[in-house]
Amino acid sequence: MHCCNLLLTFVAFIFCVISLCNGKPHIVVILADDYGYNDIGYHAKFHHSDMKTPFLDSLAMSGIKLENYYVQPICSPSRSQLMSGRYQIHTGLQHSVIKPTQANGLPLDNIILPEQLRQCGYDTHMVGKWHLGFYENSYLPWNRGFNSYFGYLTGGEDYYTKYRCWTKDCCGFDMDSNEGPTNETYGEYSAHLFARKAKEAIDKTDKSKPMFLYIALQSVHSPMEVPDSYLKPFEHIKDYNRMMYGGMVAAMDEAIKNITDHLKSANMWNDTILIFSADNGGQTLSGGNNWPLRGRKATLWEGGVRGVGFVHSEALKLPKPNYKSNKEMIHISDWFPTIMSASNCPLVNNTQPLDGFDQWQTISKYAPSKRSEILHNIDPLFTPLYTGTKFKGNTVRMGFDTSVHAGIRSDDWKLLTGEQGDDRWIEPPEWNQTESWVSPLENPEHPGFPTNSDPAKLVRLFNIANDPYERLEVSERYPDIVDTLLVKLAAYNATAVPVRYPPLDPNSNPKYHGGFWGPWEK
């Protein structure tokens, strides 16, 4: 009997390395942190950026680039929508990110993606940044569907020491796993570490099952840290943050190559669907760039929410030879139902209503998108960039308070309300390195860039199809469209749950928990 069991296990192993496991592909999702629209090679070369990503380019060019792809403007909201398939107004995460000292997290009544896939027979693993709450054990990733986890729980830390300070008196190590916290990786650069741990996760996957591997890289979030060996191609860039950022991008590109090479060595690559996505727009304060889009991370301008994304799969048969760029509207919340569809997995009972759409036919067959609308957000607690901004008079129009920070896309139209933060078009820093250089913002051959903007303007309307760079504000020209979109915002707002944004809890201090960030409530 023992020999028979061994034989059956061996047959299952052989079957899964030469074909799809039970008709289900391996799924690898790679999320890059604070990665700008103009910082991947296939965009950079058209917009004169010096960022180079030869391996990511090769994956995208032999896969499907998503060129009408949207994410959320900051970390936790994007990750929550990826994992839950739900808008943040429906999970209470409308405002800011989950702070390490807050008793907060993605609500437990959401049956998230790894839980769904595990019930469908997947072996589920995660490496990297969680940032969806950890104040109670029940919020930890290995208690939310991942069979294994190695990474950090908060929103950022030192790339080498894995040390994170919230205040000068609230500091600790942040490197955790389903086997307990550790500082044994002290000194190992994050991109190298997470590539190594991803390879270990691949090796320990149950070979009789399909694999789901979620890799949430630290790269290329601040702080600006990278081994010197990656900096040589960028030494000509005078802006320090941009130079360092270039090296960090190069290290990330190499790490992803190493992971995919390992999938090939494990005979899993040909049956893998790889999804690559940024979590939000680039942080221009830390070397990122979104040119020619307007704005940056933490804004609802296109530079904050238009994401880098692509899908690669050797098993994916492209519908036509020239199908390389998909320009259908896709949002990060769509990955939840799309992955379930691509995996031939039904949603489990008690799944919360989804805001995402199954876009598998859109990606694999170039069918029209099932989505014509995106709620970018409604955040009643948003803090204005211009602290002196005062909105006067009645700000309610068509049932929606237009002083509230919000944004919606419907077909070609995009409406923004309230104060929107940094609204500049920010050029790649490597451009402005000679005295004779003339900015496109000042060049008469590139008209239409406003030199300033009124922060007190409550309503702004753009036709993104005709004006993807948000140069021409047309709310006064199309008041009926403004009213239609305000009615939509009011309808969404009526479904919103209360904002989850608790006060900071001193009991979270790592000094009470062995010097590590981790759960502090029972």
* Structure tokens that stand for 435 in this block: 């005295």
CB 395 within 8 A of CB 458: yes
126 has which bridge partners?
149, 214
| Three-class SS of 470-508 | CCCCCCCCCHHHHHHHHHHHHHHHHCCCCCCCCCECHHH
Q: Using CA atoms, how far apart are residues 299 and 360, in angstroms rounded to an integer?
A: 29
Q: Which helix (H) or strand (E) holds 258?
A: helix 240-265
The structure tokens 């040119």 sit at: 291
165 CA to centre of own chain: 23
Q: Using CA atoms, how far apart are residues 76 and 489, in angstroms rounded to an integer?
A: 22
Output the CA–CA distances (angstroms, integers) from residue 357 to 82, 173, 371, in the order listed. 12, 38, 7
Catalytic residue among 43, 95, 125, 131: 131
Using DSSP, state whether 12 is helix, strand or coil.
helix
Q: Using CA atoms, how far apart are residues 313 and 100, in angstroms rounded to an integer?
A: 36
Which residues lie closer than 8 Å to 492 by C-beta, 6 or more apart? 87, 89, 375, 378, 408
177 has which bridge partners?
150
CB 100 within 8 A of CB 155: yes
Cα angle 354, 356, 362; round to 5: 140
- Does 75 qualify as catalytic in the annotation? yes
Q: Using CA atoms, how far apart are residues 401 and 396, in angstroms rounded to an integer?
A: 4
Catalytic residue among 16, 21, 43, 75: 75
Q: Using CA atoms, how far apart are residues 450 and 465, in angstroms rounded to an integer?
A: 19
Q: Using CA atoms, how far apart are residues 460 and 437, in angstroms rounded to an integer?
A: 32
The structure tokens 């044994």 sit at: 184
Cα angle 430, 435, 441; round to 5: 65
- Does 16 qualify as catalytic in the annotation? no
The structure tokens 């032999």 sit at: 62
Of 118, 299, 308, 279, nearest to 213 by C-alpha is 118
Q: Using CA atoms, how far apart are residues 280 and 76, in angstroms rounded to an integer?
A: 10
Of 334, 372, 316, 331, nearest to 60 by C-alpha is 316
Q: Which helix (H) or strand (E) holds 417?
A: strand 413-417
* Structure tokens that stand for 465 in this block: 């199809």
User: Active-site residue numbers?
Assistant: 75, 131
